Amino acid sequence: MKTNSCPCGSGKTLTHCCGPLLAGDSSAATAEALMRSRYSAFTLQDAAYLLRTWHEQTRPAMLDLNETPSPKWIGLNVIAAQVIDEDHAVVEFVARYKLGGRAHRLHETSRFVREQGLWYYVDGLIDGQPISTSGSAADH
């Protein structure tokens, strides 16, 4: 990945992809765009953005992205993005990362809701199991 490439894997630069969302200059037009920007936020350790885009009913009080060892996010593959209705959507993806020199994959199916025109991450299933909301990046 080029240093100015967006971490979400869109092929665009960060400035022309997730950057404006992370900066608060624009909002995600779709649940998939929000999910991609949240992946980028994880890679850039932007906990404030992650909390801001997490639905208030499921959002943890805090999010600690300073784990040791810290995961190195290395790729995102969106498997499916399904619009349920105009305010609900589901996105299935696989995020690859390295932790302590070992490769891992996070296969998640995430639920999103749109309220007052803004998309929010609600919750999801990792390999069919509910996600813990303890606030650790390893849980999500």
The candidate with the shortest Cα–Cα distance to 33, out of 71, 83, 72, is 83
CA distance 19 to 71: 21
Q: Which CATH architecture has domain 14-139?
A: Roll (3.10)
- Choose the weakest-confidence range: 10-14, 62-66, 95-99, 124-128: 124-128
Count of CA atoms in the C-beta half-sphere (13 A) of 18: 27
Backbone angles phi, psi at 24, to 5 degrees: 80, 10
Tell me: pLDDT of 134 over 50: no
Q: What is the pLDDT of residues 3-62, one digit of tens each?
A: 689 999 999 999 999 999 999 999 999 999 999 999 999 999 999 999 999 999 999 999
CA distance 84 to 96: 26
Residue 70 is predicted with a pLDDT of 86
pTM: 0.88
